[in-house]
Amino acid sequence: MRKWIAGAGLVYVLYGLFIYWYLFMTGDAAVPEAVRGTEADPASFMKPSQLAVAEQYSNIKNFLFFIGIPLDWFLFFILLITGISKKIKQWMATAVRFQFLQVAGFVFVLSLIVAAVTLPLDWIGYQVALDYNISTQTAASWAKDQIIDFWIGFPLFTVCVLVFYWLISKHEKRWWLYAWCLTVPFTLFLFFLQPVVIDPLYNDFYPLQNKELESKILALANEADIPADHVYEVNMSEKTNALNAYVTGIGANKRIVLWDTTLNKLNDSEILFIMGHEMGHYVMKHVYIGLAGYLLLSLAGLYVIDKIYRQVVRTFGARLHINGKGDIAALPLLLLLISVLTFASTPFSNAVSRYQENAADQYGMELTRDREAAVDTFQDLAVTGLTQVNPPLLVKVFRNSHPSIMERIEHAETNEKTEEDPTSKPDSDQ
Active site residues: 278
Alpha-carbon gap, residue 129 to 146, rounded angstroms: 16
**Which of 336, 328, 294, 291 lies closest to 312, judged by CA?**
336
Report yes or no: 75 and 117 within 8 Å, Cβ to Cβ. yes
Alpha-carbon gap, residue 61 to 398, rounded angstroms: 13
Helix then strand count (H, E) for the chain reads 14, 4
Compute CA distances 329 → 92, 131, 293, whole Å. Answer: 11, 41, 31
DSSP for 366-422 reads: HHHT-HHHHHHHHHHHHHHHT--SS--HHHHHHT-SS--HHHHHHHHHHHHHHHT-T
Alpha-carbon gap, residue 356 to 328, rounded angstroms: 40
Neighbours of 256 (CB within 10 A): 23
- Backbone φ and ψ for 123, nearest 5 degrees, come out as -65, -40
What value, to the nearest 5°, has the Cα angle with vertex 182 and ends 177 and 188? 130
Alpha-carbon gap, residue 401 to 281, rounded angstroms: 14
Neighbours of 314 (CB within 10 A): 11
Alpha-carbon gap, residue 319 to 4, rounded angstroms: 10
Alpha-carbon gap, residue 219 to 231, rounded angstroms: 12
Q: Residue 275: CA atoms inside 13 Å, Cβ hemisphere, count?
A: 32
Helix%, strand%, coil% for the chain, nearest 5: 75, 5, 20
